[in-house]
Structure 1
Amino acid sequence: MVVICVYAPHMGLGDQEKREFWDRLDVVVRAVPREERIFISGDFNGHIGKDSDGFQSADGGFGFGDRNEPGRELLEFAVAHDLGIINSFFRKRVSHLITFSSGGRNTQIDYLLMKREDRRWWRDCKVIPGETTVTQHHLLVADIGLRRKLTEGERKGRPRIRWGSLKGDKITMFRDKVIPMTANWVGGDANRL
């Protein structure tokens, strides 16, 4: 899994700085091999808003507030790279959506993104209201269920003994072999058996 942490330029900076940010992030994301999982998180300094209109593939429609231009840029980036904004796919109370509070204003500017093909692994995403990572940002957490593919040998595993299927002579044969082995075992070394 590749984890990318971002901090997008804020509203006060010029268009050149913002364009450089998106271009650099684009280069980083394109460099990630296709088979790798990707997880992008951070402060994108944009509002995707509560409506997913036009961006249903990247936005689940459960955001906060109104969309602005930096939020539109984030959504366009997500669509271009087939990413989903995880925290927009889970219906939450307003207090579990607000990622930034300052001067009595509450907004959602921190987001978590993953490939849409990994959508089946997204379990939940929300803000922990009482926790702050810095003075104004609230902790945003996601539950992701990750599985690795098992190799053929791991899939088969060790052979299992199905005791319930022992019948007739096999029960007697088992008893004759196992019981004598364990008779002297009390307090002994299991490796000697």
Structure 2
Amino acid sequence: MYAPQAGYKEDVEEKFLQDFDSILIGIPESEEICIGGYFNGHVGVTNESYERVHGGWKYVSRNDDGDQLFQAATAFNLAVVNTWFQKSPKHLITYKSGNHATQID
């Protein structure tokens, strides 16, 4: 799946989150879920308040979209898996342009 990019109208992001929740609600608790995609959020380097879903390894600071991802992960008993593995410094950055660098979450 692919979340709307930053800057989209708020109603587009809200519809995406509602659709995402609807799909997850329909999956029986007995099923294991693996979601692949790009949520367009930064979950940040700290796992404060989200220790169960964030492993503590990441890059940059958390933003609002990262908070939304954590809220969904918490509600549906999921984890943001790429935060559970330490990466070497050269592998932390997945996009760089000028003075800006990010890591895909």
TM exceeding 0.5: yes
Look up the SS of the partner of 2:79 in the other structure: strand
Q: What is the identity percentage for the equivalent residue pairs of Structure 1 and Structure 2?
A: 36
Structure 2: unaligned runs, 5 residues or longer = none
Contact 1:58/1:85, CA 8 A, preserved across alignment: yes
Aligned length: 104
The whole-number CA distance in structure 2 between the counterparts of 1:89 and 1:22 is 24
- For 1:66, the aligned partner's letter is S
Q: Are 2:14 and 1:16 equivalent residues in the alignment?
A: no
CA contact (8 A) 1:48 1:71 kept: yes
Which structure shows the higher strand fraction? 1
Following superposition, the deviation at residue 63 of structure 1 comes to: 1.0
2:65 aligned with 1:70: yes
Say which of 75, 82, 89 aligns to 1:94: 89
Unaligned ranges ≥5, structure 1: 1-5, 111-193
In the alignment, which residue of structure 2 is the partner of 1:159?
A: none
- What TM-score do the two structures reach when normalised by structure 1? 0.51
TM-score (norm 2): 0.89
> 1:103 is matched with which residue: 97, 102, 105?
97
Larger Rg: 1
The answer as to 2:53 corresponding to 1:58 is yes
CA displacement, residues 66-102 of structure 1 (integer Å, 9 cap, x when unaligned)? 1111111111111111111111011111333333x14
Report the RMSD for the aligned CA atoms in angstroms: 1.4
- Tell me if structure 2 keeps the 8 A contact 1:64–1:94: no
